[in-house]
Structure 1
Amino acid sequence: MSADGLTAEKEEFWLFGYGSLIWKPPPHFDQRVPGYVTGYVRRFWQVGRYQDHRGTPEAPGRVVTLIERSFWETLDDHHPSGSDRVWGTAYRIQPDKVAEVRDYLDIREINGYTVHYTDFHPADGSPVIKTLVYIGTPDNEQFMGPQDPQKLAEHIYTSVGPSGPNKDYLLCLEAALDGLSPESGDGHITDLASRLRGIEKRLEPVPSPDQEAIERELEKRESIDGLEETEKRGL
């Protein structure tokens, strides 16, 4: 990697994804490697892209960012962070597509995020890889800082934007992390997802058995009526 942080066309360019990039990868990658970085904490403390990514300007959704552990330790956070590892996925971009992908990422990630470089540790013990990562630092106006977990889960549950419900982002991230490694779970993400499912259960009750029986009977009746009509027509 060159001294100014830019990657020459024939040098390897790796990107670290710790949020939606885990399940929605960038274009033109030829290697995908699960692993982790150290020295950071992942938190749902960033307003979504352009404030309408998973919400609206009036009610912006939330997405994750990385916070330097040394700074996070000075904050009053409701969630502990026992592990020094933030799991995610590193992607190697095809050399002739690096410029194109950089432009794509600047559009996708740049609002409130800045470019950083960090060491990535592959899960299989392979040598460390220097990766680019987009981080929403605390000095950007999209950074929200510590929030009450229940209020944050409720906000995520109610937020919807052009990219879909904010809750889908949270649940997809939980599932994606669980699929990387037996060690790749994130307590902050898991707790928020659990709270969200509790909200769903409370506000979206399952139909009663009697109602389900009625619906099954109606479906059966419609099926019988359709069969009788077909027989009448001699079909």
Structure 2
Amino acid sequence: MSAPLTGHRQSRDLHKPAWVFGYGSLIYKVDFPFLRREIANITGWERRFWQGSHDHRGTPEAPGRVVTLLPAPGRVCHGVAYLVEHQVFEHLDYREKNGYQRFDGLITLRSDNTQVAGVIYVADSDNPAYLGPAPMPELAQHIARAHGPSGSNRDYALQLAEALRELGDPDPHIAELERLLTDEQTTTTL
């Protein structure tokens, strides 16, 4: 059974720091202040390149693809948790604006295996930027072509693969996309 997410966060104590879980670019592109950083995971979820990016790694006319979370019983999604002051969420909400919502969830800190309540940004299938599944070669071709204000979609995918390797996360979805994106034959046919 997947870890429950309990809806958009409305009632957080504005005077206390909060944890936020990063499973995509929040792992390697840390453009916000934080009080503490921990390698962490959430249970019952897996990341997939199924969310459209009209504002960062693509454009409205040619959206890129970025990761979101899908329920996956028994799976563990590795990432990084940051303890942040409440005002940081203004920046994070803007950064994650293209279809992502804040949800409450349990985050396990790897250092001491404790669980903390935290915020997890998820773009579910009901948002207008959701692109959904596609065969892996098609995903790789889409990612290889897309580019937006934050750079190439290919760079996003490859930086995520490298960051996950550094965390010791053998995410098969990301590893397969990395293989396809760096395969000489695939890149020459794009």
Q: What is the TM-score normalised by the length of structure 2?
A: 0.88
1:187-216 Cα distance to aligned partner (Å, 9 max, x none): 000000100111577529xxxxxxxxxxxx
Structure 2 residue aligned with 1:192: 177
Instruction: Indicate the residue corresponding to 1:41 in structure 2.
Output: 46
Q: 1:87 aligns with which of 73, 78, 84?
A: 78
Cα distance change on mapping 1:38 and 1:201 into 2, 3 Å? same
Tell me which of 68, 75, 97 is aligned to 2:71.
68
**Per residue, is there more helix in 1 or in 2?**
1
| Paired positions, count | 181
1:83-123 Cα offsets, whole Å, 9 max, x none, are 610000000013xxx12x11111111022111111111111
Q: Distance in 1 between matches of 2:11 and 2:185?
A: 45
Once residues 187 and 132 of structure 2 are traced to their aligned partners in structure 1, the CA distance between those partners, rounded to angstroms, is 28
Per the alignment, residue 138 of structure 1 pairs with: 125
Whichever residue aligns with residue 176 of structure 2, its letter is: D
Number of the residue aligned with 2:3: none
Structure 2 unmatched runs, 5+: 1-8
Distance (whole Å) between structure 2 residues aligned to residue 109 and residue 202 of structure 1: 29
- The 1:91–1:26 alpha-carbon spacing in structure 2 relative to 1, beyond 3 Å, is farther
**Is this contact kept in 1: 2:180–2:186, CA < 8 A?**
no
Q: Per-residue displacement from partner, 1:57-105 (whole Å, max 9, x unpaired)?
A: 22110000001226xxxxxxxxxxxx610000000013xxx12x11111
Distance 1:202 1:188 in 2: 18
- State the Cα RMSD in Å: 1.9
Change (3 A) 1:130 1:159: same
The aligned amino acid for 1:203 is T
Letter paired with 1:114:
Q
Partner of 1:230: none
User: In the aligned structure 1, how far is the partner of 2:120 from the partner of 2:57?
Assistant: 21
1-structure distance, mates of 2:164, 2:29:
13
Identity %: 39
- Counterpart Cα distance in 2 of 1:41 and 1:26: 24
* Alpha carbons 2:51, 2:65 under 8 Å: kept: yes
Q: Secondary structure at the match of 2:29?
A: coil
Counterpart of 2:79 in structure 1: which amino acid? G
1:124 counterpart residue number:
111
Structure number with the higher strand fraction is: 2
SS in 2 for 1:8: coil
Q: Is the 8 A contact 1:120 1:129 kept in 2?
A: yes
Letter in 1 for 2:68: T
Q: Distance in 2 between matches of 1:41 and 1:148?
A: 17
Q: 1:19 to 1:202 in 2, by over 3 A?
A: closer
Q: Which runs of 5+ in 1 are unaligned?
A: 71-82, 205-235
Matched residue type, 2:182: R
Greater shift in the superposed pair: 118-127 or 171-180: 118-127
